[in-house]
Amino acid sequence: MGGKVCKGRGTTPDDFDKQVEYLKSKFKLTDQQIVQYKAFFNDFSEHKKTIERENFRKVYQILYRNEDAAEFADRVFDAFDTNQSGSVDFVEFAAGLTMMDSKQTEQKISIAFNMFDKDGSNALSEEEVTDMITAYYKLLGPHISISPVEVAHELFEKMDLNSDQKVTYDEFTTTAKNDPKLLAILDPQV
Q: What is the pLDDT of residue 14?
A: 64
Please give the residue range of the domain that contains residue 148.
108-186
Question: Do 95 and 23 share a structural domain?
Answer: yes
| Averaged pLDDT, groups of 10, the chain, 190 residues long | 41 73 88 90 87 91 84 93 92 88 83 93 96 90 83 96 97 92 74
Q: Which of 72, 100, 128 is the last residue of a domain?
A: 100
Residue 6 lies in a domain: no
Q: What is the per-residue pLDDT for 3? A: 43
pLDDT value at position 91?
93
For residue 12, the model assigns a pLDDT of: 53
Q: State the pLDDT at residue 129.
A: 96
Whole-prediction pTM: 0.80
Pick from 83, 100, 117: which residue ends a domain? 100
pLDDT of residue 25: 87
Q: Are residues 95 and 112 in the same domain?
A: no
In sequence order, what DSSP letters do the residues of the chain get, joined into one string? ----TTTT--SPPSSHHHHHHHHHHHH---HHHHHHHHHHHHHHSBTTTEEEHHHHHHHHHHHTT-GGGHHHHHHHHHHH-TT-SSEEEHHHHHHHHHHHT-S-HHHHHHHHHHHH-TT-SSEE-HHHHHHHHHHHHHHH-TT--S-HHHHHHHHHHHH-TT-SS-EEHHHHHHHHHH-GGGGGGGS---
Residue 138 sits in the same domain as residue 162: yes
